[in-house]
Chain A
Amino acid sequence: MKRVYFVLLVVGLSLICFGCNEEKAKEKAEFKVAMVTDVGGVNDQSFNQSAWEGLQKAKEGLKVDVSYIESKQDADYQSNLETLLDAQNDIIWAIGFKMADIVMQVATQNPEQKYGIIDFTYGKEVPDNIVCVMFKEQEASFLTGFIAAKMSKTRTIGFVGGMDVPVIHRFKFGFLAGAKYADPSIEILSQYAASFSDAAKGKAIANQMYKNGADVVMHAAGGVGDGVIEAAKEKNKMAIGVDRDQNDLAPENVITSSMKKVGSAIYKVTESFTKGEWQGGKTVVYGIKEGGVDIAPTTSNLVPAEILSEVENLKKEIVAGNIVTPASEEDYNKFLESL
């Protein structure tokens, strides 16, 4: 028996030694950039996917080496960041505010390593080796809300949120404000699913909204949104997608999407880094002006041109600062008073 253990031990150790051969050093591109996804995974049809698409674009356009690592649990964030640190990347992107504390921690411990974090800012105390990227989701949602109100024939629209949390609030109150801006008398139904995965729930909620008279429903609810769009497809109503252009899910029904172009923001920061300008220590905010958020390019398929030209005017107003889109319930109430 002991001999068996010994043999196993020897085999194991020799495998380890075999494994401990030096890491292969690949020197292809000038820079290496990598990202850690949050628990949604790289194919979440949302901001992780968008981020990865941005990096892939950077690989072609900027000649940088790119890679990603997926997190399966919240506990994976730190180890994944460390793994990328060991792989000697020039910039490590953390996709999602859930990594905020951890990024701060590893950035303090490794002052030479450059990090980027999406959807979070440390306010005035951003260390020099971190760049924070924030998005004004509410600006794009404001436009989709405007379109929804203009497109609705029943004067009733709906919003399905994943969970009652700040990032969803930015979509929700932007959407609500846009709709009220277009038509102060419009009725808005809204409901949270308390889930980001239960598609059946999204479908049932959307069905309920359509039954109650809504004919346009926007979602900001991840996998739940699949159900929302499915309901629109079956009932031949209108739906509004989120994060990316979701028109492919139902080409006849998804009239527009509130896009959050994480990828292009990452591309831009990476681009300026390769040119020698590192934007560390700063919080970069991407709104309509900077091209970080927008409505989907397929909007023109289903939305008439006159509404689109109004939307273009609205964009100019937002860029000029004449309209301040609300990101929270408080701001939204103020916005309503100002109307």
Chain B
Amino acid sequence: MLDNVALILGTTFMYATPLVYSALAGVVSEKSGVINLGLEGMMVIGAFIGATCGFYFGSPFLAFVCAGIAGGLMGLLHAVACVSFSANQVISGVALNFIGPGLALFLSRIFFNGATTTPSISLTNKMPRVLSGLFPESSFFYYIFDNMYATTYIALFFVILIWYVFNKTVIGLRLIAVGEHPVAAQTVGINVVKIRYCAVTISGVLAGFGGASLSLAIVSNFRPTLVSGQGFIALAAMIFGKWKPFGALWACLLFGFAQALVIFLGQFHQLHLPMDLLSMLPYVLTIVILIYFVGKAVAPSADGIPFEKEQKI
């Protein structure tokens, strides 16, 4: 029984990791006042570049960084549109969701001779499972930590880091000020444009990491269906978590837990649960929990509103 609990927890973390990165990406961007609907597109690019670089360079961490850079470039594109040209942020995000997968598949066909599935990376060249060797096989902690890659710990680190930056540092306070009231922030001398540029680019980097944590850790290759909607789930997790880093973490863990539960329950054929109906559980559960346990979510007040430098109070 206990090892089942451990396995469920392990699966929870495995499922949640890519979502945590992308939900954090959403948090950083939206806290600065820019809606980032392009998470899905950024994740696909990140997953593709991660798998490709991992295959060619042989170093998972280098590949991970490359994926971040690729995601960051997408973020920069979003920033140029939303900050410099006061674009409609929702529309720009939707555009990235077309460009991201389109570009990833297009590049894949060019790099890999027409194939949209990248070759598999060998076990020694993929993300290491840092703590998995510490516990004896079939022990409680073995089942928890066996599925936790370096990416999981990095994700948790980013949660704490972003929480710290938001709550304890001047930069974080400025970023929040920019997202809540950019005009006031500007009058006290904060460079709104610069902060938003940085935030949106970092957001892209994180989403790129999210994609790479799929293609370098959970599996070791990219295929077009790999991301299939996880960027949108992350978006939901961010709102669920009320635009807070720890909130987003809990939301992703909850979602991962529900998925793990589906897999656990699915093994009992005597229950006669149709797998299709059972698979709805994470989505239904999210809505139910939102209704009963989470109050109204409030976005940063300047979220989605383009900022114009010349704008006076």
A-side residues, CB < 8 A to B, are 41-43, 45, 163-164, 189-201, 203-205, 207-208, 211-212, 222-223, 226-227, 230, 233-235, 248-250
Contact = CB atoms under 8 A, between A and B. Distances in A.
Contact of B7 (A198, A211, A226, A249): A211
B125 to A, nearest CB: 12
A59 to B, nearest CB: 14
Contacts of B224: 41, 43
A195 B279 contact: yes
16 contacts: A41-B116, A43-B115, A43-B224, A192-B266, A193-B275, A195-B279, A197-B225, A197-B226, A200-B14, A201-B263, A205-B266, A207-B147, A208-B263, A227-B218, A233-B123, A234-B146
B279 A203 contact: no
B157 to A, nearest CB: 21
Interface of B: 3, 7, 10-11, 14-15, 114-117, 119-120, 123, 129, 138, 143, 146-147, 214, 218-221, 223-226, 228, 259-260, 263-264, 266-267, 269, 274-276, 278-279
Nearest to A164: B275
A43 B143 CA distance: 34
A223 B267 contact: no
A197 B228 contact: yes
A162 B301 CA distance: 44
Given A226-B221, A227-B218, A234-B129, A194 B114 contact: no
B230 to A, nearest CB: 9
A223 B14 contact: no
Given A208-B7, A234-B129, A191 B266 contact: yes
B267 A189 contact: yes
B225 A200 contact: no
Among A200, A203, A222, A223, chain B packs the most CB atoms within 10 A around the CB of: A200
Contacts of A197: 225-226, 228
Contacts of B228: 197-198
A249 B222 CA distance: 12
Contacts of A42: 114
Nearest to A236: B123
A227 B219 contact: yes
B254 to A, nearest CB: 16
Q: Which 9 A-B pairs rank lowest in CB-CB distance, beginning with the nearest?
A: A197-B225, A194-B275, A43-B116, A204-B11, A194-B279, A249-B120, A199-B219, A192-B275, A226-B219
Contacts of A194: 275-276, 278-279
Contact of B218 (A191, A195, A203, A211): A203
Contact of A211 (B143, B214, B269, B278): B143
Nearest to A252: B123
A101 B218 CA distance: 38
Among A43, A196, A222, chain B packs the most CB atoms within 10 A around the CB of: A43
B226 A199 contact: yes
Contacts of A208: 7, 11, 263-264, 267
A249 B117 CA distance: 11
B267 to A, nearest CB: 6
A211 B279 contact: no
Given A204-B15, A208-B264, A211-B143, A223 B225 contact: yes
A230 B121 CA distance: 10
Contacts of A200: 14-15, 214, 218, 259
A257 to B, nearest CB: 14
Among B143, B147, B219, B224, chain A packs the most CB atoms within 10 A around the CB of: B219
A43 B228 CA distance: 17
Nearest to B109: A43
Contacts of A223: 223, 225-226
Contact of B223 (A164, A191, A205, A226): A226
Nearest to B108: A43
B267 A191 contact: yes
A234 B123 contact: yes
Contacts of A196: 225
B233 to A, nearest CB: 12
Contacts of B279: 194-195
Contact of A250 (B120, B143, B263, B269): B120
A273 to B, nearest CB: 26
A285 to B, nearest CB: 29
Contacts of A43: 114-117, 224
Nearest to A224: B225
A95 to B, nearest CB: 16
Given A43-B116, A203-B219, A234-B146, 14 more contacts: A41-B224, A42-B114, A191-B275, A193-B275, A197-B228, A200-B214, A211-B3, A223-B226, A226-B223, A227-B218, A227-B219, A230-B220, A249-B120, A250-B123
